[in-house]
Amino acid sequence: MAGLVPAIHVFLSSTIASKTWMPATSAGMTVVQRPLPAAGRRQYASAMADQTEQPLPTAADVDTAAARLRGVALRTPLISSPVLDALTGGRVFLKAETLQRTGSFKFRGAYNKLSAIAPGERGGGVVAFSSGNHAQGVAAAAKLLAMPAVIVMPADAPRPKRDRTAELGAEVVLYDRAREDREAIARGLADERHAVLVPPYDDPLIIAGQGTAGREIVEDLAALGLKPDLVIVNASGGGLTAGVALAVKARVPSAQVVTAEPAGFDDHARSFASGRRERNDAITGTICDALMAQSPGRITFEINRALVGAGVSASDAEVGRAVAFAFRELKLVVEPGGAVGLAALVAGKIDVRGKVVVAVLSGGNVDPELFSRLVA
Ligand SMILES: Cc1ncc(COP(=O)(O)O)c(C=O)c1O
């Protein structure tokens, strides 16, 4: 097994002052300290803030993404459970993206984005920033397309997510979530290496790729003679929500799509209410490590405020109960950030009586220790 795991080179971005490469060891990883471009510091303006206007993706772009992903991404099942139906009074389906390649929906957007890069521009590889699932999606897509990948991850990202990203052949660069700007670090690395920056959500190709999950939801329900009344999507930057909303609303305009967010990180719900992109006060402090983006994306919010417009939230305790429910009743391993929509259903926060409801189980890459505590 050890032979399958490549050496992990972690660049500690917090050691900006260092002028030389200094190999060291930490918790089984090879740590290489190196200077990063000054742009890696938090005081620099967000690298995404000055992005030029991009055309909004459409449902047709989701169709194009589906063609690119055919035979590469898995078509994940829609799972139903009599227990869940009895509990909620609705006809509930769970889109099990926990079973997608790399354990989350993120592979969809990553592969769509990377495969659209012209072969002549692939040499410099890709750079991404992510708390874990986008990291693995990009690393897996890059590996399939034989492109080098560098991933900027928070130093407190769950260990399995860091390890799996490195095992997929990516270089992992750690940063301090509280002090540093991951977008600026990634931008600096991309410039340095002539690599393509792969944003986690605010990108038309990423959004279109994530939307293929929504397309499958509608198609698979149609095969059962059903249409969704409500689709609940776990949201961080809003890319999955935007893609799913584009695909679902184009086919079933009457369907409602809502975001699900951790309590205290409900920037989408608050932004829908105020009409502008609100920020979360906290940057850490939820078990949903995947859902801590500080505010909705610019492109994603353009789409979501038009097509979504409402959100629910769930506390860590409610999310923990949903993770345990999925394990006990459905035999599914779901990470906290992948279980917020399910949590809202299980906690009775949404009235779904008599409705056809889909909650996206968006990821399953949970830290084993946390998982065992939640299901105990
Ligand atoms: C498991 C999981 N669910 C949902 C999301 C939210 O995705 P988005 O940032 O596109 O809203 C993420 C993002 O990392 C995730 O990892």
How large is the average pLDDT for residues 316-329?
98
How close is the Cα of 17 to the center of ligand 1, in Å?
33
How large is the average pLDDT for residues 84-107?
98
Q: DSSP letter for 92, please.
A: E
* Choice from 133, 299, 335 to test ligand 1 binding pocket (greatest atom count within 8 A of CB): 133
Q: What pLDDT is recorded for position 23?
A: 25
Q: How far is CA 242 from CA 168, 206, 311, 339, 354, in A?
A: 28, 10, 13, 18, 26
**164 DSSP β-pair partners:** none
How large is the average pLDDT for residues 146-165?
91
Q: Which helix (H) or strand (E) holds 33?
A: strand 29-33
Question: Closest ligand 1 atom to the C-alpha of 335?
Answer: 1
Determine the topology of domain 59-105+203-375 in CATH.
Answer: Rossmann fold (3.40.50)
Q: What pLDDT is recorded for position 201?
A: 97
Q: What pLDDT is recorded for position 47?
A: 34
**Has residue 247 got a pLDDT over 60?**
yes
Structure tokens at 309: 């417009």
**Has residue 309 got a pLDDT over 60?**
yes
Provide the residue ranges of all domains of the chain, joining segments of one domain with +: 2-48+107-197, 59-105+203-375
On whether the CB atoms of residues 104 and 142 are closer than 8 A, the answer is no
Question: Can you tell me whether residue 22 is helix, strand or coil?
Answer: strand
How close is the Cα of 131 to the center of ligand 1, in Å?
10
Question: Can you tell me whether residue 105 is helix, strand or coil?
Answer: coil
Choose between 157 and 221: higher pLDDT: 221
**Has residue 27 got a pLDDT over 50?**
no
**Has residue 103 got a pLDDT over 70?**
yes
Phi then psi for 162, rounded to 5 degrees? -65, -50
Q: Across all residues in the chain, what is the average pLDDT?
A: 87
How large is the average pLDDT for residues 319-343?
98
Judged on CB neighbours under 10 Å (0-12, 13-18, 19+), 254 is exposed
Q: Which of 153-162, 207-216, 331-340 shows the lowest mean pLDDT across its residues? A: 153-162
How large is the average pLDDT for residues 225-242?
98
Q: What pLDDT is recorded for position 48?
A: 41
Q: What pLDDT is recorded for position 144?
A: 97
State if pTM tops 0.95. no
Confidence band for 31, pLDDT divided at 50, 70 and 90: very low
How close is the Cα of 138 to the center of ligand 1, in Å?
14
How large is the average pLDDT for residues 178-188?
92
Q: For ligand 1, which residues put their CB under 6 angstroms from it?
A: 104, 133-134, 200-201, 234-241, 290-291, 293, 335, 337-338, 362-363
**Has residue 307 got a pLDDT over 80?**
yes
What are the start-end ranges of the H helices in 16-105?
A: 59-69, 82-88
Q: What pLDDT is recorded for position 52?
A: 53
Sign of the torsion angle spanned by Cα atoms 304, 299, 235, 233: positive
2-48+107-197 and 59-105+203-375 have identical folds: yes
Structure tokens at 68: 């690119």
Phi then psi for 370, rounded to 5 degrees? -60, -45
Question: Can you tell me whether residue 94 is helix, strand or coil?
Answer: strand
Left if phi > 0, otherwise alpha if psi is -120 to 50, otherwise beta: which for 125?
Answer: left
The CA distance from 65 to 210, in Å, is 9
Confidence band for 131, pLDDT divided at 50, 70 and 90: confident
Q: What pLDDT is recorded for position 177?
A: 85
What are the start-end ranges of the H helices in the chain?
A: 59-69, 82-88, 106-115, 133-144, 159-167, 182-193, 204-222, 239-251, 267-274, 298-307, 316-325, 340-346, 368-375
Q: How far is CA 339 from CA 43, 77, 182, 245, in A?
A: 34, 16, 25, 19
**Has residue 186 got a pLDDT over 60?**
yes
The CA radius of gyration of the chain, in Å to the nearest whole number, is 20
The highest-level CATH class for domain 2-48+107-197 is: alpha beta
pLDDT digits (tens, 9 = 90+) for 36-85: 333 332 222 233 434 457 789 999 999 999 999 999 999 999 999 999 99
Q: What pLDDT is recorded for position 1?
A: 31
How large is the average pLDDT for residues 268-288?
95
